[in-house]
């Protein structure tokens, strides 16, 4: 398929014919699945978004891939085309509402409709609130929270027009839990969960328009290499670490059978009731856990990571962080140590 002439940044990847109308839309429980559905993915150049692109390609979807890194998007486009998907790539900074509106317009122009939108674009930082530069805090909110709000505004206009569609917002277990050193990220992810709930309430009458949140725990992606870091220490994901492909499969399942909230990662999900019903205990435990497991030895210079600019060289699905059972046991051990410190602190 030729590149979309009305969008200079749009590049197309020929996987198969894609001038036919989609046979079945994702998000509507129809026999036959998602064949031909048009799926827009933001954050498609790396990690969960890239794994989701592969999973939707295998599922027969037609794809519109967005992120800042044009070269990475081209690679992902070729990977999806190799899996049989008709794909266009649209370099987009989600913090810019104009670009996001143009992204959805490109999707509609290329494929005639948008059935599913996965909002996965995100940036991350480590550092105390005091050590995190204000402009970094602001930018994380602009990308993670306002970026999804721009995405929702743009795609819901198409969904209302079509009378159907599914928005899948990638939040985090940090939409339900908290920890020190990640205040902008947690603020953005808590905001996202509230935002998706309100959208669902307001769209109750629209039977075929769905707004879903997927909340992954720790996932093996390069987000930890991409994170800004003002701690002076090497950062490490909290174990246990789950594969990005597992999240991608869950996202495709949600597209087929929309549900309000899906949490991925059993161990960290178990902490949600502790956080909700025993907040003092949770507060006491989480700091030692972060100090032992998330911040490691070594002196690391302050870095803005990918907060202001992408790093295409490290865009890939995996961050090579997969947990061994020993590391997972270490995590449980650290939680128990934190818990016993907390008890001693109270006596
Ligand atoms: N990995 C985890 O442990 C974990 C856990 C819970 C939730 N999540 C969530 O899962 C989602 C995907 O994260 P990931 O782990 O896959 O991280 P990742 O590998 O760092 O991917 C982040 C993606 O966001 C894109 N992005 C960043 N800033 C952008 C901007 N301004 N405009 C457009 N795209 C932008 C990046 O591409 P460019 O840099 O090329 O723009 C990249 O494609 C995020 O919402 C994240 O919060 C991840």
Nearest to 112 by CA among 209, 36, 41, 50: 36
The residues near 163 (Cβ < 8 Å, ≥ 6 apart) are 206, 208, 209
Which amino acid residue places its CA nearest to atom 17 of ligand 1?
223
Whether a cis peptide bond, with omega within 30° of 0, leads into 311 is no
Contacts of 13 (CB under 8 A, 6+ apart): 74, 77, 78, 80, 81, 86, 87, 88, 89
C-alpha span between 179 and 217 (Å, rounded):
13
Report the pocket of ligand 1 as residue ranges, CB < 6 Å. 42-49, 67-69, 72, 92-95, 120-123, 143, 170, 172, 216, 218-219, 221-223, 226, 237, 306, 310, 315
Instruction: Indicate which residues carry an active-site annotation.
Output: 185
CB contact set of 8 (below 8 Å; sequence gap of 6+):
none
11-346 has which fold?
Rossmann fold (3.40.50)
Report the residue among 43, 240, 261, 307 best suited for mutation to probe ligand 1: largest number of ligand atoms under 8 A from its CB: 43
- At 335 the pLDDT is 62
pLDDT at 330: 63
pTM confidence score: 0.90
Distance of CA 25 to the CA centre of its chain: 22
- pLDDT of amino acid 11: 63
The pLDDT, as a whole number, for residue 296 is: 86
| DSSP bridge partners of 116 | 39, 166
Residue 298 alpha carbon to ligand 1 centre in Å:
25
Mutate to test the pocket of ligand 1, among 121, 126, 146, 306 (most ligand atoms within 8 A of CB): 121
Counting from 1 in the atom list of ligand 1, the atom nearest the Cα of 219 is 3
Question: For atom 43 of ligand 1, which residue has the closest CA?
Answer: 43
Number of H helices, E strands in the chain: 12, 14
Q: Identify which of 175, 221, 272 to mutate to test ligand 1's pocket (most ligand atoms within 8 A of the CB).
A: 221
Query: Which atom of ligand 1 lies closest to the CA of 93?
Result: 32
Q: How far apart are the first and last CA of the chain?
A: 70
With a cut of 50, which residues of the chain have pLDDT below it? Answer: 1-9, 14-34, 347
Confidence at residue 322, expressed as pLDDT on a 0 to 100 scale:
82
Phi, psi of 14 (to 5 degrees): -80, 110
Determine the atom of ligand 1 nearest the C-alpha atom of 310: 39
- Ligand 1 atom with least separation from CA of 170: 45
Q: How far is the CA of 43 from the centre of ligand 1 (A)?
A: 5
How far apart CA 305 and CA 226 sit, in angstroms, is: 5
Q: Which residues pair with 264 in a beta bridge?
A: 216
Order of strands, edge to edge, in the sheet holding 38-42? 11-13, 87-89, 62-66, 38-42, 116-119, 165-170, 209-216, 261-264
pLDDT tens readout for residues 132-172: 999 999 999 999 999 999 999 999 999 999 999 999 999 99
Residue nearest (by alpha carbon) to ligand 1 atom 31: 93
């Amino acid at each position: 398929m030729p590149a979309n002439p009305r969008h200079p940044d749009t590049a197309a990847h020929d996987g198969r014919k894609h001038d036919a109308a989609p046979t079945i839309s994702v998000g509507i429980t129809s026999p036959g699945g998602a064949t031909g559905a048009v799926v827009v993915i933001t954050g498609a150049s790396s990690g969960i978004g890239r794994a989701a692109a592969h999973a939707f390609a295998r599922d027969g979807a037609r794809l519109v891939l967005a992120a800042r890194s044009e070269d990475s998007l081209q690679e992902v486009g070729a990977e999806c085309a190799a899996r049989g998907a008709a794909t266009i790539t649209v370099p987009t900074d989600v913090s810019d509402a104009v670009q996001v509106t143009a992204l959805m317009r490109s999707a509609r122009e290329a494929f005639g409709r948008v059935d599913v939108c996965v909002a996965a674009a995100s940036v991350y930082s480590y550092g105390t609130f005091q050590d995190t530069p204000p402009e970094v805090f602001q930018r994380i909110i602009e990308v993670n929270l306002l970026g999804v709000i721009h995405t929702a505004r743009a795609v819901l206009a198409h969904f209302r027009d079509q009378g159907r569609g599914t928005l899948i917002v990638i939040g985090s277990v940090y939409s339900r839990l908290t920890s020190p050193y990640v205040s902008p990220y947690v603020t953005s992810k808590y905001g996202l969960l509230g935002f998706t709930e309100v959208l669902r309430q307001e769209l109750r009458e629209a039977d075929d328009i769905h707004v879903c949140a997927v909340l992954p725990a720790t996932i093996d992606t390069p987000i930890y290499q991409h994170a800004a870091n003002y701690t002076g220490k090497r950062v490490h994901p909290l174990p246990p670490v789950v594969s990005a492909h597992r999240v991608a499969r869950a996202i495709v399942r949600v597209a087929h059978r929309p549900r309000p909230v899906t949490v991925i990662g059993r161990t960290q999900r178990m902490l949600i009731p502790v956080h909700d019903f025993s907040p003092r205990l949770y507060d006491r435990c989480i700091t030692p856990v972060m100090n032992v497991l998330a911040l490691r030895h070594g002196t690391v210079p302050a870095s803005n990571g990918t907060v202001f600019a992408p790093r295409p060289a490290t865009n890939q699905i995996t961050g090579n962080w997969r947990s061994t059972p020993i590391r997972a046991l270490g995590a449980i051990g650290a939680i128990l140590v934190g818990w016993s410190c907390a008890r001693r602190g109270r006596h």
